[in-house]
Structure 1
Amino acid sequence: MAAPAGDNVQLTDGEERAISSYFGFDCLYDHQRKVISDTLLSKDVFLSTKTSSGKSLCYQSIPVVYQHRQLPVIVLVISPLLSIMEEQVHLLRAMGFTATVIGKDPKENNDIKTGKYSFLYTNPETVLKDDEWREVLMTEVYRKTVRLIVVDEAHTVTQWGTSSTEEVFREWFGRLGELRSLLPGIPMLAITATATNINRRKIKQKLCMMNSIDYTESPDRNNISLFVSEIPHAKPLEEVFGWLVTAAKQNSCPRTVVFCKSIGDTAKVYGMFVRELAGCHREIVNMYHSCTLPNIKEKIRANMNDIDGSLQILICTNAAGMGVDFKGVQSVVNYGPPQELDTLIQQLGRAGRDGSQSLHILFYKNNK
């Protein structure tokens, strides 16, 4: 099936000016201009650039282009976590776009099915496993109006959707290539801040992106100083994090995110800080993981998105490591290395997003 009418026309100077005006900046970065142009030419694109490089704008700008062309548009965004979707929808609505999460509010279902939203966020389970929404994607409205499929946090395709040794965490991530048969001819944009060459090939294979154009850069961040420290097996947590506890008690603690490998470790580290900071310092620390109640997650994200928020130390799993833009984070600590190098790079990239000099520490245990 051919791409919808109006595609296969590259980005014009007038459309670039319209994007710049809408989002309030002088001009596009070079990689943004190329990615937008390539997707408008119905080409698949794999974008792997460092955090804070403006990756999201590459798809957020698509409705501006099609509005400029006076054509209907839907951008379908596949995202791994509801918290990411809700944050993005809130941002896009504030900018005047129509955006929602598929299936979150049944009252919106009819408007979704008739193509009333420019941005639709969802997860693989909703659009592939649920027959109702799978059939919606095959309707004439969607095949004529969807201009771009976006796979955000694309490293989850292989990290969550495949496994050679154990049960797959979320198998439908590994089956996202099925979207190509539901929406034939529609270009796909895969986005991640971290993907090794091997993982990039695996992701593209799963997404059926055999002839994609790749834009990649080193994830190196010159403003983040990296340190690795071995922890003796029996060393108490109070000693491991003593420097951070002391800084917190002295009201000189930089905003810090501590990533743990499991919910159990998160609870142990959080419990230690609560004990050590009993009293007036208690409000500066919290924990965040997949089992945290949704209303608590929202309060934590709102606080961390405020440069003047009270939270200074967040103990968390990787549930807080993707698609977030916590403000003022100057230190990131990994209490144990994650299984994937891509995950480590993703997590340490939470630091210094404003360009300020920042710190990353990786703690590891030698069990010998």
Structure 2
Amino acid sequence: MTAQSNARRPNGIHQSDNGYYFAYGGTCKMATQDEIDSALGKVLPHFGVKEMKKQQKEILKCLLADSDCVATLPTGFGKSLAFQTYIPVRRVLDSTHTGRMIVCCPLVSLMHDQVDKLSSIPGIAAAYRGFSESSDKLIQEGSVDIIYASPETLVGDPLWRTALQKLKVDVIVIDEFHTIATWGHGSDGTEKEAFRKWFAHIGELRSLFPDACILALSATCTTQIRKRVLKVLSLKENTYVINMSPNKTNIKLVVAKVPNTVEIAMSWLVDGLRDLKNHFPRTVMYCQTIRDVTRMYTYITEEQPDLVKQVDMFHSHTPQDKKMDILQGLKDTSSSLRLVVCTSALGMGVDIAGFDSVIIYGNPGNTVDLVQEIGRVGRGGHMAIALLLHNSFHLRKSDTEVRNVYQLTECRRMSLMTSFLTVKQLDELKLETGCHTCCDICAEACSCGKCSMLKLEELFAGVEPVLSDSSDNSSSTDFYYTSDSGGESDF
């Protein structure tokens, strides 16, 4: 880890020959590397992990040293482990520690998933605001170690702001920090048309808890968004930055234009579900609105009524108990669940096991959301497929970067990563592209003689292609679909 300036900030991170300083009880004490490793050896087995990755350790050491940190790590990397181990490790190092952690989280499904996992870890009390009256009371009483809440609660609710300020908070985690820009501001960069305006005010947490360090985490953040977020959060000058590429080389990108009518565009999917049933590849299918999710689910289940156990839908208005059933099915590789049709409410950190296929029907408006949806699958490292389907209306609401991914005749992966990587990283990525597992364009030019397809791509390969036309670039305001509520939410 890069050494930070102790002269500028006494409690900042400082690497010496023996270890790292960390602050507690108003003093600064040294924890040697051996002491930290010993503490991790006692804590990690409870999380089902043998060893932390290098970047996870760097984040943990920042927190122990009371230093701000911004980390952009790929989907499925295990970002949450770095901060979830902080309190138990801290207590091994200092048995008198009583500090708490606040995790600012964008989605209820993500909060529930993480709290559910932490419920099996001894010595940690975790809860999210809104789960029940009893858990809310425990949070306010100071009986919860890791408190999950939305921006609407943390900075938008005066009563909760006052209640939480009474607690001793060591660490504030801003999970999925890119949403500060993508949800906290409208397309014009202001709050006027913001999906969830309180995301733009998360930086107020610094003034509410001046002694706490801040950890900002994301899997997808463009260089432009990162600069904006750093300013919003009022991070300190010696903030430690970890930036890994969001590119997942095991996911092949395939783009195709389909007919405007759902029944014609997705008949191949229904045929595949009918023929393969429980052998159909476990697939997540993203639509951009609740209306499209409902339309797609209704079409599939009306065509094949006997598939109701294999197909389900998930969006912000799905009943909570149904959401929990679906989330459990996503974790259980032996589940009969084969296809989940969903909005972005299913995403950002939700544990999805054994899913190596994703269909994105109707492209997201920006590359951040596109990378998020692609990254839901292939988490086990196996080869995976992302099938990006669009009709002649979909691209009209996208930004230039998304249209480039869908329309350019060059490598899709290079186009998608342009907004996320440095020039050096892009040069390195260029050396890795060109094979049939990269994207459909690279596959067409591949001459390895060993090209193969995953089952979902095979099922779609027999569909007659729809040629692109000038309507894709139309600036018409008569859009094919609109959201009933102006956006998808889950809070």
TM-score normalised over the length of structure 1: 0.92
Match of 1:358 among 367, 374, 384: 384
The answer as to whether partners of 1:10 and 1:40 remain within 8 angstroms in 2 is: no
Give the corresponding residue for 2:247: 220
Separation in 2, partners of 1:47, 1:7: 27
| Letter matched to residue 155 of structure 1 | H
Match of 1:15 among 36, 51, 72: 36
The answer as to whether partners of 2:257 and 2:390 remain within 8 angstroms in 1 is: yes
Root mean square deviation of aligned Cα? 2.1
The answer as to whether partners of 1:7 and 1:41 remain within 8 angstroms in 2 is: no
| Letter matched to residue 241 of structure 1 | M
Q: What does residue range 70-81 of structure 1 map to in structure 2 within 5 Å? A: 70=95, 71-81=97-107
1:36 aligns with 2:56: no
Give the corresponding residue for 1:95: 121
Distance 1:184 1:271, change over 3 A: same
1:241 aligns with 2:266: yes
Separation in 2, partners of 1:85, 1:341: 24
Which deviates the most, 178-187 or 36-45? 36-45
| Letter matched to residue 230 of structure 1 | K
CA-to-aligned-CA distance 1:194-239 (integer Å, 9 cap, x gap):
0011011112222112532211111111211111111244xx3233
Give the corresponding residue for 1:153: 176
The answer as to whether partners of 2:75 and 2:349 remain within 8 angstroms in 1 is: no
The answer as to whether partners of 1:7 and 1:40 remain within 8 angstroms in 2 is: no
SS at match of 1:314: strand
Give the corresponding residue for 1:274: 301
Separation in 2, partners of 1:128, 1:227: 41
Give the corresponding residue for 1:331: 357
Match of 1:177 among 199, 203, 207: 203
Number of positions where the alignment pairs a residue of Structure 1 with one of Structure 2: 361
**Identical counterparts, % of pairs:** 32
Q: Indicate the structure (1 or 2) with the bigger Cα radius of gyration.
A: 2
The Cα of 1:82 is off from its aligned counterpart by 1.6
| Letter matched to residue 284 of structure 2 | V
The Cα of 1:109 is off from its aligned counterpart by 4.5
The answer as to whether partners of 1:150 and 1:190 remain within 8 angstroms in 2 is: yes
1:26 aligns with 2:50: yes
Separation in 1, partners of 2:50, 2:30: 20
Separation in 1, partners of 2:29, 2:55: 18
Match of 1:206 among 208, 228, 232: 232
Unmatched segments (≥5 aa) in structure 2: 1-8, 12-22, 394-470, 472-491
| Letter matched to residue 5 of structure 1 | G
Separation in 2, partners of 1:258, 1:293: 19
1:47 aligns with 2:67: no
| Letter matched to residue 267 of structure 1 | T
SS at match of 2:348: coil
The Cα of 1:49 is off from its aligned counterpart by 0.7
The answer as to whether partners of 1:204 and 1:210 remain within 8 angstroms in 2 is: no
The answer as to whether partners of 2:138 and 2:144 remain within 8 angstroms in 1 is: yes
Give the corresponding residue for 2:487: none
The answer as to whether partners of 2:71 and 2:241 remain within 8 angstroms in 1 is: yes
Distance 1:124 1:7, change over 3 A: farther
CA-to-aligned-CA distance 1:127-179 (integer Å, 9 cap, x gap):
2222222112332xx2xx31210011112111111125452221111101111
TM-score normalised over the length of structure 2: 0.70
SS at match of 1:250: helix
